[in-house]
Amino acid sequence: MGVTAKQIFVNLPVKNLQHSIDFFNAIGFEFNAQFTDEHATCMVVSEHIFVMLLVEERFKAFTTKEISDATNSTEAIIALSVESRAKVDEIVHKALEAGGKPSNEPQDHGFMYGWSFQDLDGHLWEFFYMADQ
């Protein structure tokens, strides 16, 4: 059958944890206080999807590699589906108003619509809506 995971935890390094919390709060995300301290926080994306925002020093404890500078290179694009085209636009507008930077222009493929932005640390986030096929 292969690998079947129950949850996903994406770990991202951040320069300023409180600024990142404020940014993602402005978009509408919530955080799990049980997994939050001065070094890290657990952002709740859904019941089974979480993003751990870790200050760079804490992130370094999990890898022997250098942390890439997401403002200059792309290590991943975090793509999340939402319930409507309007929700895509709402989230991206909130992100840009909260200090995020534009990434790509909206992409409309008829059955699928998406738009992306860069967070405060340059990580790429894409929100998309896909019509039922």
44-77 pLDDT, tens digit each: 999 999 999 999 999 999 999 999 999 999 989 9
pLDDT of residue 47: 96
Task: Sketch the domain layout of the chain as residue ranges.
Answer: 8-62+76-130
Mean pLDDT by 10 residues, the chain (133 residues): 89 98 98 96 97 97 94 93 97 98 96 97 97 74
pLDDT of residue 132: 82
Compute the Cα dihedral for 73, 32, 39, 23 and give only its sign. Answer: positive
Homologous superfamily of 8-62+76-130: 2,3-Dihydroxybiphenyl 1,2-Dioxygenase, domain 1 (3.10.180.10)
Identity of residue 19: H
Helices and strands, counts by H and E, the chain? 3, 9
Contact yes or no for 80/127 (Cβ under 8 A)? yes
The pTM of the whole model exceeds 0.95: no
pLDDT of residue 120: 97
Which H helix or E strand runs over 125?
Answer: strand 124-130
